[in-house]
Structure formats: structure tokens, C-alpha cells
Amino acid sequence: MLQPAIETMFLKPLSVVYGWGVRLRNVLFDRGVLKQEQYPIPVICIGNIRIGGTGKTPMVEYLLGMLIREGYRPAVVSRGYKRSSSGLQIVHVSSSALEVGDEPRQIKQKYPSTTVVVDANRRRAITRLLELDESERPNVVLLDDGFQHRYVLPSLSILLTDHDHPLCHDDLLPLGRLRENCDARHRADVVVVTRCPAHMQPIDYSIIERNLALYPHQKLLFSSVGYSTPIRVFPTTPSIQKLTHMSGRALAIAGIANPTKFFREIKHKIPQVETLSFSDHHRFGPKDADLMNRTFGSVLGSTPSSQYPIAICTEKDAQRLSDIRHLLSPALVSNLYYLPIHTVFREYATISMDQIVLNHIRDFYRKPTSPYI
């Protein structure tokens, strides 16, 4: 009981100082001392306030798929967290996770015709997109993890908050995991409570809505994680059809912020599961490969020949594991799958995310100042 108290004693003052700095920065933006850039096309920001996973990449992919189906030409701008490169980089299908970051690579692999740009300077990235030839120039930009990047003024701001980690029940960094005070939620046009459990009662929605205390103009939505059919990381042979209560054993590998639900999903489907957990965006190396090879070898050795052992990782980890294929054993390479996830919206709000986004884009292009009307 003493250790947490000591940590609080030392970290609380640092959180206070950090909070002063964040508050001052926001005031400077709000009063126009620090300038925000606006653009002649819709810029839709998807972000969060709390560090760690809230489902930003599945949300970006959901919006990409919807916009493409509706006939738009979206592009994605991301920082490219933990990439080895610097400056502005155009993501290609052949780009490695090491070069551009695991999330941008994942998006590009899933939507190869979409322009994906990584750059810590989001203004420069958007300007570059607007300079593309007309045949390639996007008419919508999705700004991945841009809620704190206030030098860009988005035309629509979507804030994600994890169901299990309420925004206003945490402290600022470094004591807690908040990037800024939870009052910042009022900058968002839409707030999405992500990773909701399967069975929520009407009272559960009402409690969350009351605790968030959003402004009347803000929209509140709820979403869950949907799991798809596992896919081979190295597609040399067909993928298995389903992951439904398989016999045998499995090795589950996760290098994400919150691996608990991923491991729970695998253990719900497969009787015996060994787990290996790494830090979020972990850059896999020879020691990690050796550990995975040995652990999967143990799983293989203890599985009867009549059963089908597999190794399975998250979709984001698959991007980084692809970079170290040469370090993985043949057995692991041929039996390694990833479990795709997608965003599933709950039927709670009177308006859907699709309607919100599409109405926003249509209204944006109806403005007399838009050069594309």
C-alpha cells in the first residue's frame, strides 16, 4: 500500500505542472495567439485524450470503407508512431512497418488505392495532398490521432473514449494517462464510447451520457469490437475458415496497449492458449523471435497430431512481424495468423456515424467559399 502512495506523492506535482502547460497551450490556440490552419476540403480528425488503445485505427478504417463506398476519394494523414524514417513519407503497399509505422502500413495494406501520408507535421502533409494532380487529389482527409495537433483546425472532430476507462476518472500524465484535461472533450463534434461490452442495458447508456455531460450540439455514439475470420500473416496457403471453439492449443501474441480483450477472445475459442505480451508498438527483434519460436515449438510438441495448433496475433502486430519473417521458424511462419477487428456501432443514437460524416461533407461543399462546388 505504501508504493502507490509514494508514486502519487512524487508524480502528482508533475501532473499539475504538465496540466498548466497543456492549459496554457490550449488557451493560446483558443485566443488565436497560436494559429490554426483551415483547408478547402473536409478534414476529419479521429483522436483521443487518454494514451493507449481506444480503437482509432479500426475507426479510421470504418470511415475509409464508408467514404469509398459513397464515391469519395479519402486520404489518411498519420504521424507514423515509432517509425524509423523522419519527415514526410508516402506509404506504399511495399513499405515496411519499420519505415512508416504499423498502423499506416495496416491501413495501406487494407486500402491500397488510398493515399496514406505519415508526417509529424500534419499541416505539411495536408498541403502535400492538395498539391497532388487532380486525378490523385483527395476530397476528404482523415487525420489519424490528431486531437492534440491543434495547428490543424479540423472541419469535424471525432473523439474516442474507451468504455472501460472513463475520461473523467483518470489523472493527467505522468500520474495518470490523460494527455489533457477531460474538459477537452468539449472540442469534439462527436464522442464515441468504444469497446462497449456485448450486453448493455439502457441504464448503462444513460449513466455514461450523464457522466460525459456533453454540450447539446455534440453527438454521442457507442461502438463495439467485431472480430473477423483469422487470416494468415504469410499467405502461402489458404486461411482457416473459422475460429470457433477449435480443438488443440494456440500461441497468442500481442504487442498492443490493451491486450486483455484480445487474449480473452482467443481463449474463448481455443481451449489451451499460451500468451506472449509485448509493449504497444513493440519493435520485434532477434530475442523476441527466438522467444516466439521456442514457445510455439513447445505448443507444437504438446499438441496431438490429430489437432491443429496455430499461432495468432493482432492485426497491428502482423505488420511488424512481417518485418522479421526471416527470423521466425518455418513452423511459426506457416501457422501464424492475425485476427482482424472492425468497428460495430450500437443502436443507441438517433443518427448514425455515416449520416453525421456524410451530412458534414455535403454541407462543407455547399459553402460558397469551397473551391470544389
- Same domain for 238 and 212: no
Q: What is the dihedral of CA 54, 56, 62, 63, to 10 degrees?
A: 130
Whether residue 354 is contained in a domain is answered as yes
Is 370 contained in some domain? Answer: no
- The phi and psi torsions of 308 (rounded to 5 degrees) equal -120, 95
Please tell me the distance from the alpha carbon of residue 130 to that of residue 16, in angstroms, as a whole number: 40
The verdict on whether residue 128 carries a ligand-binding annotation is no
Model pTM score: 0.92
* Residue 352 belongs to domain with CATH number: 3.40.50.300
Query: What tens-digit pLDDT sequence spans the chain (373 residues)?
Result: 446 677 788 899 999 999 999 999 999 999 999 999 999 999 999 999 999 889 999 999 999 999 999 999 999 999 999 899 999 999 999 999 999 999 999 999 999 999 999 999 999 999 999 999 999 999 999 999 999 999 999 999 999 999 999 888 899 999 999 999 999 999 999 999 999 998 899 999 999 999 999 999 999 999 999 999 999 999 875 555 555 545 578 999 999 988 999 999 999 988 899 999 999 999 999 999 999 999 999 998 887 765 778 999 999 999 999 999 999 999 999 999 999 999 999 988 889 999 999 999 999 999 775 555 4
Q: Are residues 210 and 280 both part of a single domain?
A: no
> How far apart, in Å, are the Cα atoms of 110 and each of 205, 240, 309, 311, 322?
32, 19, 27, 22, 15
C-alpha to C-alpha distance for 369 and 59, rounded to whole angstroms: 29
**194, 262: one domain:** no
24 and 170 inside one domain: yes
Pair (154, 128) in one structural domain: yes
- If asked whether residues 179 and 293 sit together in one domain, one would say no
Q: Is 52 annotated as a binding residue?
A: yes
What pLDDT is attached to residue 1? 42
In a shared domain, residues 271 and 210: no
Q: Are residues 148 and 283 both part of a single domain?
A: no
Structure confidence by residue, pLDDT tens digits, 68-77: 999 999 999 9
Is 371 within the bounds of a domain?
A: no
The total domain count for the chain is 2
- In angstroms, rounded to a whole number, what is the distance separating the alpha carbons of residues 99 and 92? 10
The answer to whether 255 is a known ligand-binding residue is: no
- The CATH code of the domain that includes 333 is 3.40.50
277 and 198, same domain (yes or no): no
- Asked if residue 310 and residue 209 are part of one domain, the reply reads no
71 labeled part of a ligand binding site:
no
Based on the fold, state whether residues 220 and 330 are members of the same structural domain: no
Give yes or no: residues 95 and 143 share one domain: yes
* Residue 261 belongs to a domain: yes
Cell 516466439 identifies what position?
Answer: 292
Domain range for 172? 1-224+345-364
53 marked as part of a ligand binding site: yes
The answer to the question of residue 373 being in a domain is no
